[in-house]
Structures are given as C-alpha cells and as structure tokens.
Amino acid sequence: MLIIPLHKKPTLANFPWVTALLVLVNVFVYTALQVPDNARHARAVEAYADSRLAAIELPAYRDYVERTPTISWRERWRRLPEPMRTQALATQVQSDAAFLAELRAERVITPSHADYAEWKPLRAELDANWRASFTERHLLRQSEIAPSRWFSAMFLHGDGGHLIGNMIFLVILGLAVEPVLGAFGFVLLYLLAGIGGGLFSLGWRWGDSGGMLGASGAIAGLMGAFAVLWGQRRVRLFYWFFVIFDYTRVRALWLLPVWFGWEVLQLLMTPDAGVGFDAHAGGILSGAALAFAAVRLGRVNHAYLDEEEIRDRRAEELAAGLSELGKLQLAAARSRFDALIQRHPDDPDVIEPWLRSWLFAKDRPEAAAAVAHALAWRARNRGDAQRQQRWLGEAMKAHAPKLPAAAATLTLLAARWQPLGLLAESQTLLAAVEAAEPSHAGLPAAWFKLALAYQEQRDEAAARAILQRLRQRHPQSAEAGKATLLLG
C-alpha cells in the first residue's frame, strides 16, 4: 500500500529549507562516509570466509544458531545448501551482537580451546579493522543501549535504493510539515521522532542480534505529524493498493490509523522481511504525539494550514455566485459576492463578478462602491491592467453618458496603466474624461505624463500629437508651456 500526500508547490515564502538540508546531510553521509565502508566490509567478509579465523569460529557459531530458536533467520538458513550455509554464517556473524559479546568474553573460544592462542590475535585484528568502519561505529545495535547511536543511526542507509526511497518521502512530507512547524520545530520533531522510532524498534527486537539504520523512523514521524497537524482538514493524496490507484481527498486525521495499522500489520505478518516496520510504527506514534503537543502549545502556522481550506471554500462560493449570476438571481449573487469581497478584497476573480452583479443596479450606492474598488485595485502586470480595462469598459457602458467614477480617479488609473505598457488605453481613458469634464484640473498633468511615456517608448509621432493637443486644449496650464518647449 502506498499513500502519498499531495501539497501545493513550494515558494520562497514556504520553501522547506530544513528538509533540503536534511536531504543533503543524508546524501553526504552515505556517499562520502558509508560507501567506502560498504566496499571495505564486502572485502572483509569475503576474506573472513576463507580465513583461518572463520575455520575456528564458524563451527561454534553454527552450533549457536542451531540451539537458538529466537534467531529470526534460522529456518531460512537451514534450507540453504552447503557451502551457502557457511557463507551465510560468515556474512552474519559480524552483525550478531549477542554472539560477538560471548565470543569476545572468551566464553565461546575459551582459553582451553586447542586453537585459542591462534584465534585471539586474529579476532582482535578483525575487530579493530571492523570497528574502524563509520557505519559500524554509528548504527543502532539491537539489544544494546547506546544513546549516541539513537541519533546517528537515522542518518545512515543500507544502500543507494534505501537512501533514494527515503529522501523522496522526506521531501514529500517535508513540503507539508515544515511550513506548519517552522524550521526549528520541524527539525526538533524530525530528530525526536527518529529517536522514538529507534527506541520502539529496540524494545520490540530486544534479545535479537543485528543492527538498525535509516531515516525511515524519522520520516514515519513526519507521517504521524502530518495527520495530526492537518487534522480534520481535507487533504489531497494519491493512493495505490495492489492494482487500485487513484487521487482523492480525505480528512488528514483518518490517515493516522491507516498508516499505523498498515505498519503493525506488516510487522506481524512479515517479521523477517528485513524492513524496519517496527521503527516505522514507533516513528508514526512519536511524530503524532509531538505534533499534538505542538498544536496544544500553539506552535503551528494556522494561516498556512487554513490556506488550502480557505481557497477551496472561496472556489465553491465563487462557483455558486457565478451560477446565481448566470441565472440572474441578482440578490443572491450580490449577497454572496459581498461576503466574498470582504474576505478576498484583492482577488480579481472575486472583484470581476461582484462588480458585474452591481452594474445591474448602477444607481445604488453599492454599485458606486464596487466600481471604485475595482478601479482602485492595483494591477501588477500588463495582463492585470487589461483585465481592469475590461472592467472599466463595462462600467462606462453601464453609466453612459456619465463617467462611472470621479475624474480624478480615472486620470490616476490612466497614469497607473502607463508603466505597464497600456499607453493607447490610457490615452482613450483620458480622452473620455476630457470629453465629460474638459476643465478637470488634473488633465494637463495627465496628458503631459502620457506624452513623456510615449517618448520613452520612442514613439515621437504619438508624443508630439499629445503635446499639441495639450497646448491647444489647455493653453493656460503650466504643462502647455512645457509642451511648447518640447515641441520646439
């Protein structure tokens, strides 16, 4: 079963910098520190299998495996043919902490053993070389209390596939969790959940031999945290269960029992799978508990959490309002859009239908307020300005032959369009203002500014035409004198 939460794209405002740093740290540890060890271990195991040391130790280890029913791989080992059995023992012996403890305490190869004198320096040499390995020094060993390894083991990986899989899920979950908790809260939860997953695994497998490593316990902690942090909010996700896969939306909290139950089921049904289902289960519980504490303490970004829900509610309300407007249910549409504009005053997708709903009642004060709001909206680019020009056109058509807004408002709007490249549209608007109110005091300055804008675009013909118009229509203005100088 695979469930992947899908979230919004990262921006500079919500980019998961700590997640990116954790990915880099994990990749560095594996490629720079572990890969050389892996090759060294492979050579050491191969050399050990053919060495005199193996000839002395492996018969004792074979007896130990045969009489220890708690060894999880014993039955699979028994089904192997010779010499694969011997090779398997040689590979396993260095990770069997319980047997090695007995061996190093000289309770397996005792001083009375015939080969004791030969064995002891060989074993000491192998231990020294093996312990020089970075991975061996930092992995979490079963049945052993070593607090420093609770932390270090979560940055180790068994192979490249293990690393890549974990990092993909770290990025997916980090995108959803880090912006909610902030950088400090996120890294604290990640580390504590990883330690919690390791301790759960340690308790579950106490008495076994071997070691544990990987970031999956910490990443499972992010799964538990995601479910609790997003709570009853509906989240998008992709799921894949055998041959069934699809996109859907569910309440995030429902994922907590699903994720935890799946890990426990896998742990009970496939105990020898070689996957840390116990660490996953412990990580999910730890992350959920830590996230619950963060919520109760108010250490979460509610604005980020609610952003998706607000956007969805806005989309639903907008669709309903557009439907009402299309059916000419104007009172219902105006009421809905009035409420929407209070929550989203700068959203052009809301401004446009709100304005249209009130243009049907152009003589009411609310219509004037809608026009003023639409024209006061600050266009950020040429597309925005063209959209605002369309709103203005609808308002002018509805109010003709009067202006839909004060002349000062319209001349200011014309000036705001000019840096965005709408010079012809600005000129048309100023001409309409001049036709309706030829003596408006702000017109000379507006025309002169438009002429300068045409000059900046090296449209000298248009600039001269504007300057000549300015001099003819407003000969007494200060700008007319400036126009004469520029024309000369």
Look at 19-23, 238-242, 370-374, 417-421 and tell me which has the smallest mean pLDDT. Answer: 238-242
CA 129 to CA 40: how far, in whole Å? 10
DSSP string, 162-223: HHHHHHHHHHHHHHHHHHHHHHHHHHHHHHHHHHHHHHHHHHHTTT--SEE--SHHHHHHHH
Between 37 and 350, the more confident residue is: 350
Q: What is the pLDDT of residue 209?
A: 62
Mean pLDDT value of segment 233-255: 84
Q: What is the pLDDT of residue 50?
A: 74
**Per-residue pLDDT tens for 333-346?**
999 999 999 999 99
Q: Which of 399, 453, 397 is nearest to 425 (CA)?
A: 453
CATH 1.25.40.10 residue ranges of the chain are: 407-488
Q: Which of 161, 153, 175 is nearest to 6 (CA)?
A: 175
Burial of 203 (0-12, 13-18, 19+ CB in 10 A): exposed
Residue 347 predicted with pLDDT over 90: yes
Residue 366 predicted with pLDDT over 80: yes
Q: What is the pLDDT of residue 5?
A: 83
CA angle (417, 422, 424) in 5-degree steps: 120
Structure tokens at 120: 């002891």
Q: What is the pLDDT of residue 210?
A: 67
What percent of the chain clears pLDDT 90, i.e. is strictly above it? Answer: 52
Q: What is the pLDDT of residue 164?
A: 94
Per-residue buried b or exposed e for 375-400, using 16+ beta carbons within 10 Å of the residue's own CB: bebebeeeeebebbbebbebbbebbe
Look at 11-20, 248-257, 297-306 and tell me which has the smallest mean pLDDT. Answer: 11-20
Residue 143 predicted with pLDDT over 80: no
**Per-residue pLDDT tens for 432-486?**
999 999 989 999 999 999 999 999 999 999 999 999 999 999 998 999 888 888 8
Strand partners, 394: none
**Per-residue pLDDT tens for 180-221?**
999 999 999 999 999 999 999 888 877 776 678 889 999 999
Q: Which of 279, 174, 272, 265 is nearest to 220 (CA)?
A: 279
Structure tokens at 20: 């990116």
The three-state secondary structure class of 156 is: coil
Q: Inter-axis angle of helices 116-131 and 35-49, to 10 degrees?
A: 170
CATH of domain 407-488: 1.25.40.10
